[in-house]
Structure 1
Amino acid sequence: MSVNSVTTALRVFEEVAAAQPAGLSDLARRLDTPKSTVQRCLKTLEAAGWVRAAPDDSGRWVITGKAFSIGSAVAAGADLRAVAMPILSELQAQTGETIHLALPDGDELVLIERLDSPHQLRAFLPLGTRLPLHAASNGKAYLASLPDNEIEEVLRRDLDRRTPRTITDPDALREEIAEIRARGYAITEQELHDGITAIAVALRLGRSGRTAASFSISGPSLRITPDLYEDYGRQALEAKTRIERFLGA
């Protein structure tokens, strides 16, 4: 798609949002654009989940909740960074390992912040990395916090094996989710990347109590050994409590 096409599609979306429910002829007139072009843009936006046909079957269009969801995530992310990063910096200093902070985006999480370990051998993921719910520690912590029906939707998908240790069996994942809920944090041992172990917790933000983020303590499996799991889990839960208190959970 060319830059002009993208610009036109965005203008169509903005007009639908301003005048919804908006008809094709009205949109073409407002935008001074051929109906065929507007129709193509509407179909593209519909396929991407940004607009949909009005429920009254009138041939008019309305926007979906996708823009609101993304806008809410951006606002939540800004508040979250301001509150969480000083607390997570303390956690990084206490553990000496890398801290990853992630936000949900569709069926995955997106890494938005990273506090690096001072060790030469350390866990490292680029910002913007997309994390699977079934294999990443952040993903599992988030997954375990969801309602059961949403968990089942995830478990019905084809779950890819990232390493030989990745758990893809739905029954085994259900058992693990129960364990995560019981102790409050997730543990992954070389499930997303060979040689890396991570411990993660989910963050519930605001009065709704909906999970809006998660963070992990990540490092080489040679250094984050089973005897440290409980201690690191406790420290992560303490940091979680402090962050949630400041954000009104």
Structure 2
Amino acid sequence: MTTNSVVSAIRVLEAVGEQQPVGLSELARGVGLPKSTVQRTLLTLAEVGWCRADEASRWSLTYRAFAVGNQARDAGELRERALPVLHELQLTSGETVHLAAPDGRELVLVERLDTAHRLRAFLALGHRLPLNASATGQAYLAACTDAVVEAYLTGSDLAPSTPWTVTDADTLRARLAEVRARGWSVNPEGLSEGIAAVGAAILGPDGRPAGALSVSGPTVRMTEEVFDRHGRAAADAARRISRELGSRL
């Protein structure tokens, strides 16, 4: 298999995961490849057990993809080290707690601990979180060097997720300065309408951010009156996890 065909297969695999169940024509348009190429790729992926088609010829990932992807959730021991602290944070906050790890210019959700409330924040594991739109992303960026922040701002379009997403570079710089001064991020409805969150960065042994966590909930409960309480708890949890990872805070 040539390098180009491997790249095409990965693009198709990722697109199936994002759009499933998805038909051939829609998938080909999404990845910008000829239908014949996409069809051959899908048949190959089906042969090795990564994709399957239903009776309507719509494609989805198999559990083989989940099994392999799940092994990547803790490649750097972040999740394993964080889980005991995250459980405590979820119990004390009473809201949904998320743990995210960096992947390129985004974060990926690697763990979620749900609240018992019926009305709650929900993001699927594996969900990709824009740095400008999420509490975890803003906390992560605030822990980065100025050079990393400027590189991100130069190479990203700061697309909106909701009407309240920070999409202006200067506004985001100001927001990050607030996060650094405060110690945690506050993101009301920036990622999902009706959901507010606070977030804090987790540092690795080299002092650079290794991930971020958040406390999220509906705006009827996540109000300005509780931002400080949940934010302090999130920041404390992040410091404890950072120490577990070897950071010298």
Q: Normalising by the residue count of structure 2, what TM-score does the alignment of the two structures yield?
A: 0.69
Secondary structure of 2:75's match? helix
Q: Who is 2:234 aligned against?
A: 236
Q: Who is 1:21 aligned against?
A: none
Secondary structure of 2:167's match? coil
Q: Who is 1:172 aligned against?
A: 171
Counterpart of 2:103, as a letter, is D
Q: Deviations over 1:41-94 (max 9, x none)?
A: xxxxxxxxxxxxxxxxxxxxxxxxxxxxxx998531xx2222210111011000
**CA RMSD, aligned part only?**
2.4
Q: 2:208 aligns with which of 202, 207, 210?
A: 210
Matches within 5 A, 1:69-84: 74-76=74-76, 79-84=77-82
Secondary structure of 1:155's match? helix
Counterpart of 1:82, as a letter, is E
Q: Are residues 1:115 and 2:113 paired?
A: yes
Q: Who is 1:85 aligned against?
A: 83
Q: Who is 2:198 aligned against?
A: 199
Counterpart of 1:242, as a letter, is R
Q: Provide the C-alpha distance between the structure 2 equivalents of 1:244 and 1:171, rounded to a whole number of angstroms.
A: 29
Moved over 6 A (4+): none
Q: Who is 2:185 aligned against?
A: 186
Secondary structure of 2:232's match? helix
User: 8 Å contact 2:196–2:222 — kept in the other structure?
Assistant: yes
Q: Provide the C-alpha distance between the structure 2 equivalents of 1:168 and 1:6, rounded to a whole number of angstroms.
A: 34
Q: Provide the C-alpha distance between the structure 2 equivalents of 1:187 and 1:198, rounded to a whole number of angstroms.
A: 6
Unaligned runs of 5+ in 2: 11-70
Counterpart of 1:81, as a letter, is R
Q: Who is 1:162 aligned against?
A: 161
**Rg larger in 1 or in 2?**
1
Secondary structure of 1:177's match? helix
Matches within 5 A, 1:1-249: 6=6, 74-76=74-76, 79-156=77-154, 157-206=156-205, 208-249=206-247
What is the aligned-residue identity percentage?
Answer: 49
Distance 1:73 1:223, change over 3 A: closer
Q: Provide the C-alpha distance between the structure 2 equivalents of 1:187 and 1:202, rounded to a whole number of angstroms.
A: 12
Counterpart of 1:199, as a letter, is V
- 182-191 or 155-164: bigger deviation: 155-164
Q: CA deviation at 1:120?
A: 0.1
Q: Provide the C-alpha distance between the structure 2 equivalents of 1:173 and 1:82, rounded to a whole number of angstroms.
A: 31
Counterpart of 2:203, as a letter, is R
Q: Provide the C-alpha distance between the structure 2 equivalents of 1:198 and 1:232, rounded to a whole number of angstroms.
A: 9
Q: Provide the C-alpha distance between the structure 2 equivalents of 1:139 and 1:244, rounded to a whole number of angstroms.
A: 17
Counterpart of 1:75, as a letter, is A
